[in-house]
Amino acid sequence: MTRAALGVAVGLIAGLLSGCGDSQPTPKPDGKPKPAVASIAHGGQLYDKFWKVSDAPEPTATHPLWATRPDQESNKRVGSDTWRCKECHAWDYRGVDGAYAQGSHKTGFAGLFPSAASAAALTASLADTHGYREAGLSDVDLESLVLFLREGLVDTTKWIDGAGAFRGDAVKGKALYMNGLGGNKSCKACHGLDGLRPPKGAPADYGDFVGLVANKNPVEFLHKLRFGHPGSKMPAAVKGTGSMQDIADLAAFAQSLPKAK
């Protein structure tokens, strides 16, 4: 057997094994090697469904801190959803003081501002208090999250007004949407001129159109623009050279796009 054929055979056996028993990690959709070096961009993606961008399996149990949420009534989620940082601390990083102050995502947990904690204290909090080491996050994953917490958080109220509109120049934003933000591949190339084309790899019934997400959930939109959509080819703006103002301009244009076909 050649080396390549052996690799395929081993891969097949691993694939078969991972299909039996709940304790086996689920194979990653992209099958790509995970980053060897920590980065803010990776940390921002881990803030979401971390199992799509790390070797950690999707959790089956509910997060141990979930039972301590100050509001036990509003948010009835169980299982892996309760492990997403955003479910407890929100897309605007402001917890109970921000977009999750009410509604079906409210937990009553605090936000992440202001944080004067040292990198070591943050690492210990995430690895041990939060249980992410046991959940399967690696040192590079934890380091990336700490980088994101120390250098990647933005005050979303600076960029989005009280009515949910981006403080940006939609005319400038249109050019960035069409031509690319900070050297990244353009939104148009993957989402179409009007944001209604399902990107490659999206499910057939795709409905999370650019104009819809930008208007319905501006803070989630801002996070995904900056860090990409976990487990997809969507580029992270923080990896390009675009400024925060460029991102807000692009988002202001995105809010003018149609929300549905």
Give residues in contact with ligand HEC (CB under 6 A): 47, 63, 65-66, 68, 82-83, 85, 87-89, 109-110, 112, 115, 117, 122, 125-126, 129-130, 132, 145, 149, 181, 185, 187, 189-191, 199, 201-202, 208, 210, 213, 221, 224-225, 229, 232-235, 250, 254
Looking at the Cβ atoms of 14 and 78, the one nearer to ligand HEC is: 78
CB 156 within 8 A of CB 93: yes
Least distance to ligand HEC, CB of residue 63, Å: 4
Q: Is there a cis peptide before residue 25, judged by omega within 30 degrees of 0?
A: no
Looking at the Cβ atoms of 87 and 143, the one nearer to ligand HEC is: 87
Least distance to ligand HEC, CB of residue 66, Å: 4
Least distance to ligand HEC, CB of residue 92, Å: 14
CB 218 within 8 A of CB 226: no
Phi, psi of 223 (to 5 degrees): -60, -45
Measured in residues, the chain has a length of 261
Least distance to ligand HEC, CB of residue 162, Å: 22
Give me 194's structure tokens: 């009007």
**Whole-angstrom Cα distance, residue 239 to residue 247?**
12
Looking at the Cβ atoms of 12 and 119, the one nearer to ligand HEC is: 119
CB 43 within 8 A of CB 149: yes
